[in-house]
């Protein structure tokens, strides 16, 4: 089922998500819905809090962007190693019509559970590394705009307020 993607400034996007303690039918249904919602948007990643579920589940598929296509479902993901630095433009399904450059690690090692309950480790570079960091941030209630300088963030907030007023 395609779920509604919450957008800034929805307060749920600022909340920290709880770890999944057991992978059951509800977890599998959540993952299925997240995958469907991500592809429908379309986006390259989605975190459960973006559909209002405060659980540590992310999905990523950066296919078609110079990376080998792979659908990733990561439960309770942890960045166990990070190095290097990149500064690339990011957007977010929860922050429509806005993109900005964000400083991230160039490569990360991520460990997580997958849907069959086993543990997996990804060695991620470039766009996949950025996607992991972006989606794991969501589980902490952090949006990419929270990484901007105070001045850039202020400009973003002003734009967002203006857009909200125009919608009214």
Instruction: Tell me the residue length of the chain.
Output: 168
Contact 89, 101 (CB under 8 A): yes
Q: Which is nearer to Ni ion, 112 or 147 (CB)?
A: 147
Residue whose CB is nearest to Ni ion in the complex, by number: 92
Which span (90-98, 108-116, 125-133, 146-154) binds Ni ion, by CB under 5 A?
90-98
Contact 156, 9 (CB under 8 A): no
| CB 92, min distance to Ni ion, A | 3
| CB 134, min distance to Ni ion, A | 5
> Is residue 92 at the binding interface for Ni ion, with CB under 5 A as the rule?
yes
CB burial readout 15-50, b (16+ within 10 A) else e: eebeebeebeeebeebbebbbebbeeeebbbbbbbb
Contact 112, 77 (CB under 8 A): yes
Q: Is 135 a catalytic residue?
A: yes
| CB 149, min distance to Ni ion, A | 19
Q: Which is nearer to Ni ion, 43 or 75 (CB)?
A: 43
Residue bearing tokens 């433009």: 89
| CB 85, min distance to Ni ion, A | 20
> Hey, which residues between 138 and 157 contact Ni ion (CB under 5 A)?
none
Residue from 135, 140, 154, 166 carrying the catalytic annotation: 135
Which span (5-13, 33-41, 64-72, 87-95) binds Ni ion, by CB under 5 A?
87-95
CB burial readout 118-135, b (16+ within 10 A) else e: eeeebebebbbbbbbbbb
Give catalytic residue positions.
Answer: 135
Contact positions vs Ni ion (CB under 5 A)? 92
């Amino acid at each position: 089922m395609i779920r509604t993607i919450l957008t800034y400034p929805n307060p749920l996007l600022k909340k920290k998500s709880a770890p999944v303690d057991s992978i059951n039918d509800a977890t599998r249904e959540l993952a299925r819905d997240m995958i469907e919602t991500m592809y429908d948007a379309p986006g390259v990643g989605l975190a459960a809090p973006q559909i209002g579920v405060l659980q540590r589940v992310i999905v990523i598929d950066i296919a078609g962007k110079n990376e080998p296509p792979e659908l990733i479902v990561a439960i309770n993901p942890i960045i166990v190693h990070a190095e290097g630095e990149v500064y690339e433009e990011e957007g977010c399904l929860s922050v429509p019509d806005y993109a900005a450059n964000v400083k991230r690690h160039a490569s990360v090692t991520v460990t997580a559970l997958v849907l069959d309950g086993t543990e997996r480790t990804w060695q991620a570079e470039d766009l996949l590394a950025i996607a992991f960091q972006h989606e794991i941030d969501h589980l902490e209630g952090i949006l990419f705009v929270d990484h901007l300088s105070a001045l850039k963030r202020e400009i973003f907030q002003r734009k967002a307020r203006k857009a909200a007023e125009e919608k009214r």
